Amino acid sequence: MKLSGAIVSVLILQCSVSFSPQVNIRSRSQQRQWGSKVELEMTAEENTDVKDIKVGVIGCGRIGIVHLGAISKSPNVTPVIVSNPTVSKAEAAASQYGVPRFTSDAMDVITDPEVDAVWICSPSQYHAEQIKACAANGKNVFCEKPIATDLAETVEAINACNEAGVKLMIGLQRRFDPNFMRVKSAINKSEVGKPIMIKLCSRDPSPPPFEYVKGGGGIFADMAVHDLDMSRFLAGADPIEILAVGSCHIDKSIESLPGSEKFDTASCLVRYPDGVMAMVDVCRQSSYGYDQRAEVLGNKGMIATDNVYPNTAKIYREDYTGNADMPFDFFLSRYNEAYVTETIAFCDALVNDKPVPCTGADGLVALVMAIAADKSADENRWVKFSEIVDQVYCKDPTSCEIVDNVFPEGFRPVAKAEDLLTPAVADATDSENSDNGNKFLSFFGFNKD
């Protein structure tokens, strides 16, 4: 695999690449959601003695373009090929960022012998298949969430990467937002003491079209999953159980849809160890722009974030006092810096051979939380996350299925999502992690001796 040479070079140079990007975001946020344009400027110190990591991007839609823009400005990382089913989009992206090759076929990116890592920015239904193909071809992977819409296929995709010894990072971009990162820092530094209660609010400026909601997996999987993951990120522990409810207030046409697809408003309570409780509320419409806030109450204080505005200007009139402009009304404007920062973080992990900061296991747990929330809302009860996890049966690491009531011979249920995963190649050969390998072998019914 081409990455190995780069890793050796980096180690010899004692990781001399400096990732200290300065990001300046300028956005015309007052344009409506589908017409916003974001301009990005980023500078970073580059060490020309380190061999470039060559990467490809699958999907040249809005998210793909954001990542491609960040990749093209990251030191020692060079995009060499992009793909999109509508090849004119791939051609336009290649022209804009000076990428030498473009194609309509994602497999051209995955099988390109020059490519060391692949960014998967395609529609969700293709993610798992493309991740597995990347693993089979020895390519490191950055994938936008979700890994897959099916839990068993999610486990298979992560294990495929672990078995192949390639890096897999999942795009849960809110972990890289400077507002949420500041809250996490306060928790880590005990600035507000020991956390007692976490509150998260996520409300979109306007509801998506019916065609988007239909078949999208429901409000917990396609929207609240970010907030559920953030609650775990801030709590610093795996959750225990969840209670969720949902209702429809905005677009009555979706009430005919199944499961949580019929909800445009939902709330969750998540119980964590030591009695820590997280509260999440989501809604598909807020007339005043993206409403994305977090609050953590500790036993010595509280830290909270406000919404993000295009500027800090205030206006003072007889009939109004407050922000001169509304909060950002487009998700790329609101989270542009977060998308850029997570891209840089993965580039750093590639060049310096470091662990990725948001793993496949993180993506797996987020999906388990969303599925449990859906089950809770449907059955009107607290649902333990172990109930969701122990339905997954794997006859081997990359051949998994969901079973219910009738369990196959050799079924060994587990309580934690991470226990469904085989250790990465590096971990499996590390004596300090040998217990993890034995635990996995035991799970699949093999004698660890």
Q: Write out the DSSP string of 89-122.
A: HHHHHHHHHT-SEEES-HHHHHT-TT-SEEEE-S
Q: State yes or no: pLDDT of 417 exceeds 90.
A: yes
Query: What's the rounded mean pLDDT across residues 169-183?
Result: 95
| Distance (Å, whole) CA 121 – CA 398 | 23
Q: Please provide the average confidence, as pLDDT, over all residues in the chain.
A: 85
Task: With a cut of 90, say whether residue 45 has pLDDT above it.
Answer: no
CB 244 within 8 A of CB 281: no
Out of 241-245, 285-289, 361-365, which region has the weakest mean confidence (pLDDT)? 285-289
Q: Is the pLDDT of residue 46 over 70?
A: no
**Contacts by residues 400-404 (CB-CB < 8 Å, ≥ 24 positions apart):** 400/152, 400/153, 400/155, 400/156, 401/152, 402/150, 402/151, 402/152
Kindly state the tokens that stand for 364: 């797996």
| Residues 6+ positions from 296 with CB-CB distance below 8 Å | 183, 186, 187, 192, 195, 197, 198, 199, 234, 302, 303, 304
Least confident of 3-17, 82-96, 124-138, 197-211: 3-17
- Note the pLDDT of residue 324: 86
The pLDDT value recorded for residue 312 is 85
Nearest by Cα to 176 from 13, 340, 323: 340
Task: Identify the band that residue 51 occupies on the pLDDT scale cut at 50, 70 and 90.
Answer: low
Residue 280: per-residue pLDDT:
98
> Residue 39: pLDDT above 90?
no
At residue 49, the pLDDT reads 58
Domains and CATH numbers, the chain: 3-174+335-359 (3.40.50.720), 178-330 (3.30.360.10)
Q: What is the pTM of this model?
A: 0.83
pLDDT higher than threshold 80 for residue 302: yes
pLDDT band at 294; cut points 50, 70, 90: very high
* Secondary structure element (H or E) that encloses residue 202, with its range: strand 195-203
- Give me 443's structure tokens: 């799970």
Crossing angle of helices 62-72 and 87-97, in 10° steps, is: 20
